[in-house]
Structure formats: structure tokens, C-alpha cells
A = this chain, B = another copy of it.
Amino acid sequence: MRVLIVNCTLKPSPEKSNTEALADVVADALRGEGVEVASVRAVDHSIPPGVESEMGEGDEWPGIRAQILDSQILVFATPTWLGRPSSIAQRVLERMDAMLSETDDEGRPVAYNRVAGVVVTGNEDGAHHVISEVSGALADIGFTVPGQAWTYWNRGPGPGDSYLESEEGREWSHSTGKAAAANLLAVARALERMPIPAPPSE
């Protein structure tokens, strides 16, 4: 059982990422269950725009794609900008769009029997919408979204502190993140034991 965290912050390393910090709570909870967790900060890689799995020379998406398909659990972490998922998050989803027509040996879309959760931070209101947008896109692609498999932090109303700048509300965000980790793991294990079969042929 492997987990990949894809962090869609706009900030290249080594800048501090609020989103990474909150995603780490979920990662730690998963590691505590003996699961292997890797992570990638998408903005550190060259990911050209497009909806194909390979977009030519210099494209670093194929390596990230391989990590996603090598994992049973995807934790999709993104900041909130203008109330919506980051441009990096949408870029990652667009490249994952190609998975819609890629199938495994049994004819199943490659995302089947993988589960996905969402972690969102922001300096203002918007997290629930971001969670719906991201998990809606991932379910379209074929990921299963377990109940309550997300957490977020922001503090309204209006623009304000980022996650790392405030101690307020962390307890809720962390306990919600730990529940998300448990739910992701439980559903991933259930699908490992009893996988979704190939779609019915007409």
C-alpha cells in the first residue's frame, strides 16, 4: 500500500508551503499505520500544458504519472486562489485527463481501484468548493473518493492569515485530517481485497 501526496502550491522549493504543512498531518497519520508515503511538489517540475501523458522533450509529467500509478492512495493538496484550486492543481488534473482513455490489462481505466483525498489551505474562504472541484475531477477520471477524505484550513471572513501564521483552528483541521487518512486507508484496503471489475462490455 503506497500513498502519493501531490502538492499543488504555487511556491517552488525551498519556499515554505502551507499546503505541504497541512498535508503532512495526513501523511504522518498514514505513516503511523505502516503505509509508505511519498510526495511531490508539482511546481518544482516542468509540466507543460496539455492533455496527453507525454508532451515531448523536457516534460517531467511522465515521472509523476508513474508515481501516481504506483500508489493506491492519492492525496491531492492545493492552496485556494480566488476561491478555486491553483493553476498547478488544474495543470495536474489536465495531464491526468489522459488517464480517461488508458486502461489496465483487464480493460479498466487505470485510476480504478485507487482512492483519492483532498487537502486544502487558504488565506480565505473557498475550501469546500476546492474539495468538490478536485474530487469531482478525480472521480471523473476513475478514482474512488471515500467519505470524509479531506481536510482544510482557512480563517474567515475576508483575507487573513495563512495556516502557518496562525494557531487557530488547527485542532479541527488536524483531527479531520487524521480521519481522512483512516478513511482513505480503509477504502483502499477494501478495494485491494475486492477490486472493481472491468466495466460491462456492451
Residues of A within 8 A of B (CB): 10-11, 29, 43, 49-51, 81-88, 90-91, 93-94, 97, 109, 111-112, 114, 124-129, 131-133, 135-150, 152-158, 169, 172-173, 175-176, 178-179, 182-183, 186-187, 189-191, 193-197, 199-200, 202
Contacts and interface: CB of A to CB of B under 8 A. Distances in A.
Given A10-B94, A82-B97, A87-B88, 14 more contacts: A51-B81, A81-B94, A84-B90, A87-B91, A90-B90, A125-B127, A128-B129, A132-B132, A139-B146, A139-B147, A139-B148, A144-B145, A156-B169, A193-B193
A155 B158 contact: no
Q: How many copies of the polypeptide does the oligomer hold?
A: 4
Given A125-B125, A131-B136, A153 B147 contact: no
Given A128-B126, A139-B148, A84 B133 contact: yes
B90 A87 contact: yes
Nearest to A143: B147
A87 B87 contact: yes
A145 B152 CA distance: 19
Nearest to A82: B137
B148 A109 contact: yes
A10 B140 contact: no
B144 A146 contact: yes
